[in-house]
Amino acid sequence: MFAGFSSHSDNDLSLLRDGMAAFEALYKKYWYQLYCVAFKYTHSGPDSEELVQNLFEKIWRNRANLQVKNWGAFLTISLRNMAIDFHRQQAVKDKFLQNYQTATTTSDTDNGIDQEQLLVLIENHLHELPEKTQIIFKLSRYEHKSVKEIAGHMQLTEKAVEYHITRSLKLLRRHLRNYLNTYTTLL
């Protein structure tokens, strides 16, 4: 591995103190184990890889605030929590798609608009907003990221993220009010 750390002594490892070498050691030691745990939850290789990758990215971003005594347990529990969030997001996504398909069927007969036209309308109206607001809206509504996750990703306060989401929703409600009753789940 690297000087000062054996494969059995990572309990006192500090990513802030020991830097990239410590991070690489953790990654090499735990990646496959975490991948196997993620696969039990997702039953998908690509989703498992993404969960593990996201976990290590999060660990690296928050290394200054981490004080971990047992990396194996910490990583496994963190991954389990991410997998649970993944399933929740999948359930929301599945429900959204089901409602969206139902709404599209209703919309086609009631309003004469299909889902592609609605998405084009939304995208067109989103372009009226500043780029940062657009990005935050898409992270929130399309990728189902929490306000806290977006704030960390965009390096903003949670209040700022809430402001941008509210701003984009107000604009879309104003411009799409004719279709709002049919597509409530989208907004």
pTM of whole model > 0.85? no
pLDDT digits (tens, 9 = 90+) for 75-111: 999 999 999 988 888 888 777 777 766 655 554 454 5
Whether residue 149 sits in one domain with residue 60 = no
Q: Are residues 82 and 140 in the same domain?
A: no
Same-domain check for residues 88 and 124: no
Statement to judge: residues 23 and 69 lie in one domain? yes
For 6, the token pair is: 């054996």
What is the rounded (10 degree) CA torsion for 93, 83, 136, 46?
-80
The answer to the question of residue 185 being in a domain is no
Query: CATH number, domain at 145?
Result: 1.10.10.10
| Poorest-pLDDT segment among 70-74, 112-116, 119-123 | 112-116
The pLDDT tens digits for 128-153 are 888 888 888 888 888 888 889 999 98
Q: Are the beta carbons of 79 and 34 closer than 8 angstroms? A: yes
Burial label, 30 (beta-carbon count in 10 A; 0-12, 13-18, 19+):
buried
- Give residue 102's identity as a one-letter amino acid code: T
Domain count along the chain:
2
Asked whether residue 34 is assigned to any structural domain, the reply reads yes
CATH number at residue 67: 1.10.1740.10
Least confident of 33-42, 123-132, 176-185: 176-185
Q: Are 102 and 118 within one domain?
A: no
Q: Mean pLDDT across the stretch 152-179? A: 84
Domain boundary among 60, 85, 108: 108
Beta bridge partners of 2: 5
Looking at the structure, tell me whether residues 104 and 119 fall in a common domain: no
Q: Are residues 18 and 83 in the same domain?
A: yes
Q: Which domain holds residue 164?
A: 111-180
